[in-house]
Chains A and B, each alone.
Chain A
């Protein structure tokens, strides 16, 4: 399978692997690139029961319908982006089969699935200072009372559009960012987080 060894992560040029540690120690901000996650953009009408049922059948779970919420199965996580828009994050990396299956399942419905695996990458953020660092560039309230574990939100971080996902448990955040803004965002995070100490983890 040549496609696998020919691929290159978005932040490959930063040499993150050589900086990766196993134990972040007392670093306030812990970063990693979650490079190899499939992504599918999904549009459809939430009032259309056939659409919801077709997607649920394909995913094995229902799409989130409340704003800024997340639902997930074993390999797929679904983010609410808008009243008729979702992003699916897929393990493994090659999200294309899911997209193709969805396209088939949604045939005849007013719905669309688009493979977006390469259009965004994911920067994983954790550590005790993670929320303080994000607050430097994100105008949203990220306090647990306003942004509980298991939610997502689209906002700005510095000058990059991001989708922020706070994992269940509240300790890990994922930032979905447009591919060409990832370098800016990574450097921005390192600059904003410098005062807390930074550690890089492997993918």
Chain B
């Protein structure tokens, strides 16, 4: 294990008592609690952390935050491995394992860095140009490009981690817990508002965490102590929720905000089992306060991408927050006063600062003055015009610059790091996501929040307010205003005193000139995607004037960092190349997420058993314990068949069907939809929604009904019973229960509001045990003495109420199998008891449970349709040969008008018929296409298809139902069904195969 040779001995917000071992690219290192992976790597002197996406150039840690374009790592191994994490955001834990992405075979020797040698052949738009020429080679290029462009790897295995999601509501959501966000939270919290304060860091404080120990004070307290006080006060407020390690990633309409909380990522293997890895928050906020800070803007200069070149604020963060030296000789390069803070802090820590190179001709602020006092050389009116060093920067070439050109000879300054600053860009991402309009300020070259259309306010650095005192003041103001707008008036908070040095104006410089020949020295704009100033200018020359086209053509800002450090510079250089003003070019659209969010977090717990609810009937436990094979019908689990030992599906279905035809079969029909319909107009409602007439149905009787859509196509069917003069119980197909109820509600609420009728879903109130077969009456007689079961006393299509198997029941004498059948309905809580009682009493009759497969076979033998199987939304009653159920007398019913359209009346429609295969053993595939003449060359004319197909044990041959053009006119014809690899001759027949007169079910 190597010593942390860049680690300072004292200070910073790390715990030197807690050593954490970790591995990076296969080597072992050690860091401290409080480190990020990036700070621990810097502490260990690891400079080279990754390779760029296109040229595979060596790259080092560039930032200390979420804007990092270079230090992308693959974290962990195996199933939980995650690609493309920013090392600057990964909190160090004991046992952490990480590797660079995007380099092969290793970060030190990357074979694809050959791309860098031929970079002139890989200009902007290279990818698109390969589409164009040479023709046909694209597919070959594509494979190679994919291989070298891979950005980390996703795990092959299922993600073993748990992800949580939650909804939340608040009066004020505050994004960002720096000085402005904390003040806003205090102001809103003290007013009594419900507040959520979210910050992506492990602790609140924002940029104050990077202050030196003897740095800024707030209200006479050290900044970090003031932060601790504020945090403690907020934690004590019952209505304030503090969410550290939580990124506000998406700002949607109506102040709907997405947050991602990293609950246990920082704990590694020590994460408690009961906690989710991450939690997504879906927040509805009355008011939003954006206090998202600012992102430092890089200076764009020649050869600016060598490891060791980093943002000045990041260098300061590594020094003060993490106690590591960003280098031993750190050159500072700036166009503003803020970078002097970095120079001063480095100098105070004993790190050599060979010079501050300042693009401004005459920096005279108080911070440069302090630097001069400290003996730091200031090279005013100078710029870095080139650098050297392969795997790390070793020297900078510095020359006088004026009016955008090199104005004198360069000299060489030896250094192992360059801390540079081009100013700060307010983080307006969330504001812009929320459809707020941005405005451009020339003096600092920044986009600022302009008009908003949602209930939000920006405060602090994201609003362009960089001085600490202004951050605090703005935070206080917007926190109080947000609370007031949410209904919580508040006394104005006294502002704590600050003593921050004032900054002199910066000088906006978008591109530092170079003395190197233009073809030789590249200045990178976008580090992740290797976009150079040359590429930007090329895009402008090639006619890409729209910023959105420019972005896609050059891929500026299209990496996983979404151009946090590159977009504004890219836009400015494009504007300059086009000769336009920056606001005229504008920015590309900011879209969620602000930083990448795991797919797992979006999935939440909607996986496996929670992906879709599984609905089970009251009798399910019995089916399960008797070996039923289940089938999904909507969300329901229904027994498909009950195989005995060694029995396959076909044998089981055959046995079950024979039992129902010869003895007794028993079926769980509880899933069928039931709608309770009451009211004086209940019969009239049925008249309007079914094709047949209902007014004259007697109380105690049942009737089959066919329901059509407005287009005249069959929508649902089922049996409805008249329980009382103004009370009906409608049954629907299993899958359509909710749809039919919604259909009835829609019509009665919107078109027929005067109808006196009410509906209620009663599906789940009842368990339905259907007994079917010649012995069904014998069995029922044993279970009830309450009513006369004789055919005359209890005729087909009627119901009786009484005690069955000891409980109150309603028994319908209806049949879907074509056998003598009774459907026993009991309160659901008694379903299992009644089923069991039937099984016990039925044993002597050989009672046999049958599943949906046998049910489908039995009804197909009878030619009974299944809506959704034998119909597909294009089938009219006439197409099914069911004109008999369409009333000619009723003035109207839903779908009636459509039945007289030319198309529904024309000949040539597909109509239901039966099919017999020539070979009775051959069972057709459901869905098989029917042709009249099999020897035609393709394309053949399809004249229909098989809708239902079974082997019928009763008929000892296969049967099928099919929809065939003018089918009923083709009786006896031989047609051909297309099956895989062959055609099967079939004969058209009537669709009722068994007991056409219905003597069995009526008997």
A49 on the B face (CB < 8 A):
no
**Is the CB–CB distance between A43 and B614 below 8 Å?**
no
* Contacting pair B808 A180 (CB below 8 A): no
Chain A's nearest CB lies how many Å from the CB of B802? 13
Tell which of B327-335, B406-414, B605-613 binds the partner.
Answer: B605-613
Contact in complex: B169, A159 (CB < 8 Å):
no
| Closest residue on chain B to residue A94 by CB atoms | B827
The reply to whether B765 and A116 form a contact with Cβ atoms under 8 Å apart is yes
A104 within 8 A of B: no
Tell me if A26 is interfacial: C-beta within 8 Å of chain B.
Answer: no
Residue of B275, B616, B621 most packed against chain A (CB within 10 A):
B616
Chain A neighbourhood of B679, CB < 8 A: 110, 112
Pick from A52-60, A165-173, A186-194 the stretch touching chain B. Answer: A186-194
Q: How far is the CA of A139 from the CA of B168 in the complex (A)?
A: 8
Q: Say if the beta carbon of B165 comes within 8 Å of chain A.
A: yes
Q: Residues of B contacting A110 with CB < 8 Å?
A: 679-680, 756, 758
A152 to B833, CA, bound (A): 34
A interface, how many residues as a size bin? 35 or more
Smallest beta-carbon distance A107→chain B, Å: 10
The answer to whether residues A8 and B833 also contact, given A119-B764, A119-B765 and a CB cut-off of 8 A, is yes
The digit string for A88-115, where 1 denotes a CB below 8 A from any CB of B, is 0000000000000000000000111011
In the complex, the answer to whether B806 meets A2 with C-beta atoms within 8 Å is: yes
Chain B interface, >50% SS class: mixed
CA A181 – CA B274 in complex, angstroms?
25
| Chain A residue with Cβ nearest B272 | A195
Q: Are B676 and A114 in contact (CB under 8 A)?
A: yes
Q: Which residue of A lies closest to B671 (CB)?
A: A180
Q: Are B765 and A112 in contact, with the CB atoms below 8 A? A: no
**Is B651 among interface residues, defined by CB-CB distance under 8 A?**
no
Q: How far is the CA of A185 from the CA of B609 in the complex (A)?
A: 11
Please, what's the 1-or-0 string for B307-349, where 1 marks a CB less than 8 Å from any CB in chain A?
Answer: 0000000000000000000000000000000000000000000
Asked whether, in the complex, the Cβ of B614 is within 8 Å of the Cβ of A183, the reply is: yes
- Taking each of B165, B635, B678, which has the highest tally of chain A beta carbons within 10 Å of its own beta carbon? B678
In residues 152-168 of chain B, which contact A (Cβ within 8 Å)?
Answer: 164-168
Q: Mark A37-63, 1 if CB is under 8 A from B, else 0.
A: 000010100000000000000000000
A112 to B761 CA separation, bound complex (whole angstroms): 13
In the assembled complex, A7 has its CB within 8 A of some CB on chain B: yes
Q: How close is A87's CB to chain B, nearest CB, in angstroms?
A: 10
Taken together as a complex, chains A and B put the C-alpha atoms of A13 and B165 apart, in Å, by: 28
How far apart are the CA atoms of A132 and B679 in the complex, in Å?
Answer: 42
B760-785 CB contacts (< 8 Å) to partner A: 760-766
Q: Bound complex: CA of A184 vs CA of B446, how far in Å?
A: 52
A-side contacts of B284, CB under 8 Å: 141
**Are A115 and B765 interface neighbours, CB within 8 A?**
yes
Q: B166 near A132 (CB under 8 angstroms)?
A: yes
Interface residues of B in 866-908 (CB under 8 A from A): none
A188 to B636, CA, bound (A): 17
Q: Count B-side interface residues using an 8 Å CB cutoff.
A: 51
B828 touches A179 (CB 8 A): yes
Cβ A43 vs Cβ B610 within 8 A: no
Given contacts A110-B679, A180-B616, A191-B605, contact A139 B167 (CB under 8 A): yes
Q: How far is the CA of A176 from the CA of B626 in the complex (A)?
A: 31
Bound-state Cα–Cα, A70 to B636, Å? 33
Q: CA A97 – CA B829 in complex, angstroms?
A: 17
Confirm or deny: B600 has a beta carbon within 8 angstroms of a beta carbon on chain A. no
In the complex, A42 Cα to B282 Cα: how many Å? 35
- The answer to whether A117 touches B610 (Cβ under 8 A) is no
CB neighbours (8 Å) of A7 from chain B are 827, 829-830, 833
Chain B residues, Cβ within 8 Å of A192: 164, 605
- CB of A118 within 8 A of CB of B765, answer yes
* B610 CB, min distance to chain A CBs, angstroms: 6
Of the candidates B167, B613, B636, B807, the one whose C-beta lies within 8 Å of that of A159 is B613
Nearest Cβ on chain A to B342's Cβ, whole angstroms = 42
Contacts A8-B833, A194-B274 given; indicate if A119 touches B828 (C-beta within 8 A): yes
What are the residues of chain A within 8 A of B605 when measuring CB–CB? Answer: 136, 158, 188, 191-192
CA distance A19 to B610 in the complex (A): 23
Q: Are B764 and A179 closer than 8 Å at their CB atoms?
A: yes
Name which residue of chain A comes closest to B765, CB basis: A119
Given contacts A8-B833, A13-B620, 13 further A-B contacts (CB under 8 A): A2-B807, A3-B808, A8-B618, A41-B760, A119-B762, A135-B168, A138-B167, A141-B284, A178-B764, A183-B616, A184-B610, A187-B609, A188-B605
7 contacts between A and B (CB under 8 A): A110-B679, A112-B758, A119-B761, A137-B167, A158-B605, A180-B616, A184-B610
- Where the two chains meet, the residues of A that have a C-beta atom closer than 8 Å to any C-beta of B are 2-3, 6-10, 13, 41, 43, 110-112, 114-120, 132, 135-141, 143, 145-146, 158-160, 178-181, 183-185, 187-188, 191-192, 194-195, 197
Q: When A and B form their complex, which 8 residue pairs have the shortest distance between CB atoms, in order from nearest?
A: A180-B615, A2-B806, A118-B828, A112-B678, A184-B613, A6-B833, A112-B758, A119-B764
